[in-house]
């Protein structure tokens, strides 16, 4: 039985497998120096099937380890060795062992043993031993190194087990062709196949189906520069000027014309400040003192920093290497006049506003803001600020939804709490669909919930009740009421926020005009074990940080109940475990979705 394997490194891992007595270690002892002689830096991992000790009894390191040190690192000017006491049942985990290797210092890892793992391998075989082939049961065999008497299928790469140079050639070729397999990206678009609404859907299928119903708003309005924050541009902004407007200096220094050979001294003829210019043309042997942003005079083509200049009287000489055109910013090199400075369908924030201001725009056309009606349902829900009734809860979902809707630049229509009456719900839904582009409710869509909202929705619209293969946020209602879109989110507070982020957010962004928006997914290193279930997408609240190894690391916020809003407050991201995984171990690569865009 084979065991799945994922290479956690950014360098290739190649195994050597054979039955005992075939000569794996003998071959590696010859292959390693051969590869070294060709400039290949390598590491080796060997699987030992027995208890072993690399230390020497009586040595300080041995005694401290025996005294209880779980890890003992011994170092000298020649080498260092880390010994770890790690008693486990069964075989050690190769991915964990590989992560102990300094992969920036080697080109490949050779593995002896771990025969059952699904890692790329070279099989060693000697016909005289009478053992069966391994490649007939293992699709990961890349080549077979064997003796002349061995019969090998034509499709399998054959190597001479006694020809170390030939095997080294194969390993080097393997290194050259190897490409790291990217970690599977969760939330990927569905395959495009049809699916039945009555069945459980993947997250990707749910998103794709929702977006197929969204028709972007086409109404526009003109807004002044100050009011553009969070709005979506309706037309390309074409630059009316070059940026920079003039060819100018990138630093304080001296402008002059560079010649070959370089002159020893230049005569300083003027000072040029930002906002002013030198009206003449510099001649050979002349220079001007120039400030950052000041126009470069005609005749000059190079700037030297003032720190590398030595001025004596009216003359200046320069130190260091000088390259033609250095520290000169050419007119239009950032944005050329007549070119698109900002494309339509871009959501504008501080940096976009600043750039548009630098081009002189006073106002621009934007798409109308989507109108979103929000309400909560249930007689058990109370308005915050009022006395809490017995057996009731305060309404938190409506406020988290409204906040996220506003963060996306939409106009909120707050319908408050609509209590459990089919007629009241139906009337509220009909009016909301007239006033708003999107209607969002929370609660009342799970199996077993009271039927008030389901009956009301059946009366006024075309609604599907989906079971999404995700946690939290499994139940989701989506459809249309008249010309408006309807989202029925779960009742649990965390499930509401996760469902909004995954399903409502992309719909509102497309509706507002952001036609090509994609969620920000960032790879990080897991610092703890996380469990899920294969076939389900898990959204775990997490905290990511930049670790000392220069990589993002992430851990969970702790307990993950779908009603625990504190986990969203403590966290700064969602950790996404994709459908293909049932467990992530410390050191595994996982994708995170930072909260920064929305929360």
What CATH number should be reported for the domain holding residue 478?
Answer: 3.40.980.10
Give the sheet arrangement for strand 438-442, strand by strand: 200-201, 462-468, 475-481, 484-489, 438-442, 371-377, 411-418
Which residues constitute the domain of residue 467?
200-216+369-512
Write the DSSP assignment of 278-329 as a string of letters.
--SBPPTTEEEEE-TTPBPPBT--EEEEGGGEEEETTEEEE-S---TTTTEE
* No. of helices (H) and no. of strands (E), the chain: 12, 37
394 and 254 share one domain: no
Q: Check whether residue 492 and residue 450 sit in a common domain.
A: yes
Q: Is residue 77 part of a domain?
A: no
Least confident piece of the model among 127-141, 170-184, 443-457, 549-563: 443-457
Angle, vertex CA 16, rays to CA 13 and CA 19, nearest 5: 150
The torsion region of residue 68 among left (phi > 0), alpha (psi -120 to 50) and beta comes to left
Q: Residue 71 above 60 pLDDT?
A: yes
| 486 vs 494: CA distance, rounded Å | 20
- Judge if pTM exceeds 0.75: no
Residues 384, 362 share a domain = no
> What's the rounded Cα separation, in Å, for the pair 206 and 83?
49
Residue 552: CB atoms within 10 Å: 17
Residues 127 and 32 occupy one common structural domain: yes
Per-residue pLDDT averaged across 16-38, rounded? 94
SS3 track for 467-519: EECEECCCEEEEEEECCEEEEEECCCHHHHHHHHHHHHHHHHHHHHCCCCCCC
Final residue in a domain of this structure, among 347, 367, 387: 367
* DSSP summary character for residue 53: -
**Domain finish residue from 479, 512, 545:** 512
Total structural domains within the chain = 5
pLDDT tens digits along 238-260: 999 999 999 999 999 999 999 99
Residue 132 lies in a domain: yes
pLDDT, one tens digit per residue, over 568-577 is 999 999 999 9
- C-alpha to C-alpha distance for 8 and 508, rounded to whole angstroms: 37
Q: Which residue has the tokens 């703890």?
A: 528
Q: Which domain CATH number covers 536?
A: 2.40.340.10
Statement to judge: residues 21 and 170 lie in one domain: yes
Q: Peptide bond preceding 472: is omega within 30 degrees of 0, i.e. cis?
A: yes
Residue recorded with tokens 């880390």: 82
Picking from 432, 415, 437, 440, the residue whose alpha carbon sits closest to that of residue 369 is 437
409 confidence band (pLDDT: 50, 70, 90): very high
CA distance 6 to 580: 12
Is residue 373 domain-resident? yes
Any domain includes 457:
yes
| Max CA pair span of the chain | 93
Whether 429 and 377 map to the same domain: the answer is yes
Q: Are residues 356 and 391 in the same domain?
A: no
What contacts 196, CB < 8 A, 6 or more positions away? none
Tally the residues of the chain.
599
With both helix axes pointing from N to C terminus, report the angle between 422-435 and 452-460 in degrees, rounded to the nearest 10: 50
Are 494 and 392 in the same domain? yes
Residue 540 and residue 474 share a domain = no
Is the preceding omega at residue 82 within 30 degrees of 0, hence cis? no
Where residue 18 sits, what CATH number does that domain have? 3.40.50.300
Contact status, residue 563 vs residue 493, Cβ threshold 8 Å: yes
Local confidence band at 541 (pLDDT 50, 70, 90 cut-offs): very high
Is residue 513 scored above 80 in pLDDT? yes
Q: Within this chain, do residues 437 and 296 fall inside the same structural domain, yes or no?
A: no
Of 54-68, 362-376, 503-517, the range with the lowest mean pLDDT is: 54-68
Instruction: Tell me whether residue 3 is in a domain.
Output: no
Q: How confident is the model at residue 52 (pLDDT cuts 50, 70, 90)?
A: confident
CA-based nearest residue to 171, from 6, 339, 52, 35: 35
Flag whether 65 is in a domain: no
Residue 7 lies in a domain: no
Q: Tokens 């171990």 appear where?
A: 585
Average pLDDT in the 475-493 region? 91
φ, ψ for residue 358 (rounded to 5)? -65, -20
Mean pLDDT of 52-72: 90
Kindly state the helix (H) or strand (E) to which residue 176 belongs, with its residue range: helix 164-177
Rounded-to-integer distance, Cα 88 and Cα 90, Å: 6
Residues 97 and 17 in one domain: yes
Distance between CA atoms of residues 491 and 205, nearest Å: 22
- Highest average pLDDT, of 57-61, 449-453, 509-513, 520-524, comes from 509-513
Report the CATH number at residue 287.
2.170.190.11
Residues 441, 453 contacting (CB under 8 angstroms): yes
Residue 22 lies in a domain: yes
Task: Report whether pLDDT(157) > 80.
Answer: yes
Token pair 């390693």 in the structure block, residue: 32
Are 386 and 424 in the same domain? yes
The per-residue DSSP string of 372-421 comes to EEEEEE-TTEE-TTSPPPTT-EE--HHHHHHHHHHHTTPEEEEEEEE-S-
Last residue of a domain, one of 512, 541, 571: 512
Percent of the chain surpassing pLDDT 90: 67
CA–CA dist 489, 476 (Å, integer): 5
């Amino acid at each position: 039985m084979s065991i799945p394997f994922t290479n956690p490194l950014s360098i290739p891992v190649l195994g050597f497998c054979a039955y005992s007595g075939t000569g794996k270690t003998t071959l590696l002892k010859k292959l390693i120096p051969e590869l070294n002689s060709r400039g290949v830096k390598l590491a080796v991992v060997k699987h030992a099937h027995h208890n072993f000790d690399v230390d020497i009894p009586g040595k300080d390191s041995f005694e401290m380890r025996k005294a209880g040190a779980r890890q003992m690192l011994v170092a000298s000017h020649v080498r260092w060795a880390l010994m770890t006491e790690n008693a486990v049942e069964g075989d050690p985990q190769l991915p964990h062992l590989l992560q102990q290797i300094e992969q920036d210092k080697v080109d490949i890892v050779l593995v002896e043993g771990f025969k059952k793992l699904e890692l790329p391998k070279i099989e060693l075989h000697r016909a005289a031993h009478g053992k069966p082939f391994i490649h007939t049961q293992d699709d990961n065999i890349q080549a077979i190194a064997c003796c002349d008497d061995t019969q090998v299928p034509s499709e399998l790469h054959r190597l001479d087990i006694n020809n170390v140079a030939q095997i080294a050639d194969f390993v080097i070729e393997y290194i050259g062709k190897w490409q790291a397999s990217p970690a599977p990206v969760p939330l990927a678009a569905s395959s495009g196949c049809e699916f039945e609404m009555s069945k459980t859907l993947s997250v990707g299928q749910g998103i794709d189906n929702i977006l197929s119903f969204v028709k972007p708003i086409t109404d526009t309005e003109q807004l002044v520069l100050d009011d553009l924050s969070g709005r979506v541009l309706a037309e390309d902004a074409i630059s009316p000027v070059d940026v920079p407007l003039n060819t100018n200096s990138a630093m304080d220094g001296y402008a002059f014309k560079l010649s070959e050979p370089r002159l020893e001294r230049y005569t300083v003829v003027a000072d040029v400040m930002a906002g002013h210019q030198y009206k003449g043309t510099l001649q050979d042997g002349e220079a001007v003192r120039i400030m950052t942003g000041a126009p470069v005079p005609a005749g000059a083509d190079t700037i030297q920093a003032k720190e590398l200049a030595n001025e004596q009287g009216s003359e200046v000489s320069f130190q260091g290497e000088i390259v033609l055109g250095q520290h000169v910013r050419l007119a239009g090199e950032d944005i050329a006049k007549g070119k698109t400075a900002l494309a339509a369908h871009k959501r504008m924030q501080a940096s976009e506003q600043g750039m548009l201001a630098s081009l002189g725009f006073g106002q621009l056309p934007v798409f109308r803001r989507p109108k979103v009606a929000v309400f909560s349902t249930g007689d058990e829900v109370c308005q915050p600020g009022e006395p809490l009734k017995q057996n009731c809860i305060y309404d938190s979902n409506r406020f988290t939804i409204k906040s996220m809707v506003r963060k996306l630049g939409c106009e909120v229509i707050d319908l408050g709490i609509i209590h459990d009456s089919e007629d009241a719900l139906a009337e509220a839904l009909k009016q909301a669909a007239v006033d708003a582009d999107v209607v969002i409710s929370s609660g009342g869509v799970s199996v077993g919930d009271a039927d008030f909202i389901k009956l009301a929705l059946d009366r006024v619209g075309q609604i599907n009740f989906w079971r999404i293969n995700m946690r939290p946020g499994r139940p989701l209602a989506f459809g249309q009421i008249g010309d408006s879109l309807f989202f029925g989110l779960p009742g649990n507070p965390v499930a509401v926020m996760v469902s909004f982020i995954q399903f409502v957010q992309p719909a509102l962004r497309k509706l507002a005009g952001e036609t090509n928006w994609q969620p920000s997914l960032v790879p990080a290193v897991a610092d703890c074990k996380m469990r899920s279930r294969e076939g389900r997408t898990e959204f775990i609240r997490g905290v990511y940080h930049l670790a000392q190894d220069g990589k993002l690391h992430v851990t969970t916020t702790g307990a993950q109940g779908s009603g625990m809003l504190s986990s969203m407050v403590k966290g700064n991201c969602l950790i996404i475990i994709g459908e293909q995984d049932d467990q992530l171990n410390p050191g595994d690569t996982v994708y995170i979705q930072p909260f920064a865009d929305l929360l």
